[in-house]
Each structure stands twice: as structure tokens, then as C-alpha cells.
């Protein structure tokens, strides 16, 4: 079992991701803003993986990722970006600062595979 943090501003997507990953045996926390994610990360032990929506109102995923990479205890936490955007241009984090990319709309099997491989579990 891995501890997975999901940061997704669309509650229905967060709920679906939580149900699927909990079905895989993961412990899941869902937050709906970048600010809430930074507060949680400051107060809790580092998760085993973060699914991070890139574009959210207010503090976006790029800012959350950059803050994580500046913090020693969060620097090596694997981050999988979740976005409808194309991975290039302004607003997109530097390649190498994240471990995976899921493009919306995504296949739930791809989500499970990405999380399981990131936390060192075989799929299924």
C-alpha cells in the first residue's frame, strides 16, 4: 500500500481517482487546491506519490511542484502531472521535475499503471 496525494480542482475527477486507487489498496488523500496541498505537505509525512493537476485556479500545479522541489524532505517525492495541456511552452514544468504525465481525458488503467509503477508495485 502506498500513500497517494491527489491534487485536483474538479471534485468528480478527484472522487473517481480516489475510488480507483483505493481499490488498488492505496491510502488516498484528495485535495482541491494547490494551497491546500502545500499546507497538507507541510503538516504530514511525505506521500509515496502525488497526482497533481497542472492548471488550477489560484496556486497551480507548477507552483506546487516548484515548492516541493525546493523543500528537502519533498524533493524526491514522485509527481505525476494530470493535465489537458500539451507538455510544452510557458506554464509547463521543466522536464525531469516530474515522473509521469497523464493527459485528460485519461484511461483509468493508465492512472493505476502510472501510480503502481511510480511506487514500485507491479500492476494488478
Cα 20 from Cα 116, distance rounded (Å): 12
- Look at residue 124 in the predicted model and tell me its pLDDT: 43
Mean pLDDT of 72-96: 81
87-96's contacts with Cβ under 8 Å and 24+ in sequence apart are 91/54, 91/55, 91/60, 91/62, 92/54, 92/62, 93/54, 93/61, 93/62, 93/65, 93/66
* Stretch 57-65: mean pLDDT: 93
Mean pLDDT of 56-79: 95
Residue of 78, 73, 82 lying closest to 8 (CA atoms): 82
Any residues with CB less than 8 A from the CB of 99 and at least 6 apart, and which? 78, 79, 80, 118
d(CA 61, CA 38): 10
What is d(CA 10, CA 43) in angstroms, rounded to the nearest whole number?
23
% of the chain exceeding 90 in pLDDT: 74
Architecture of domain 3-118: 3-Layer(aba) Sandwich (3.40)
pLDDT at 14: 95
pLDDT at residue 17 is higher than 50: yes
pLDDT band at residue 86 using 50, 70 and 90 as cut-offs = low
Query: Per-domain residue ranges for the chain?
Result: 3-118
* Whole-number Å distance between alpha carbons of 78 and 74: 9
Amino acid at each position: 500500500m502506498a500513500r497517494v496525494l491527489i491534487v485536483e480542482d474538479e471534485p468528480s475527477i478527484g472522487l473517481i481517482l480516489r475510488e480507483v486507487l483505493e481499490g488498488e489498496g492505496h491510502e488516498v488523500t484528495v485535495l482541491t487546491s494547490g494551497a491546500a496541498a502545500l499546507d497538507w505537505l507541510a503538516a504530514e509525512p511525505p506521500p509515496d506519490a502525488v497526482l497533481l493537476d497542472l492548471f488550477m485556479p489560484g496556486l497551480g500545479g507548477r507552483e506546487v511542484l516548484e515548492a516541493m522541489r525546493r523543500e528537502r524532505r519533498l524533493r524526491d517525492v514522485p509527481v505525476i502531472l494530470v493535465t489537458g495541456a500539451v507538455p510544452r511552452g510557458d506554464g509547463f514544468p521543466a522536464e525531469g521535475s516530474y515522473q509521469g504525465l497523464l493527459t485528460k481525458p485519461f484511461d483509468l488503467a493508465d492512472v493505476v499503471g502510472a501510480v503502481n509503477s511510480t511506487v514500485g508495485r507491479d500492476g494488478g
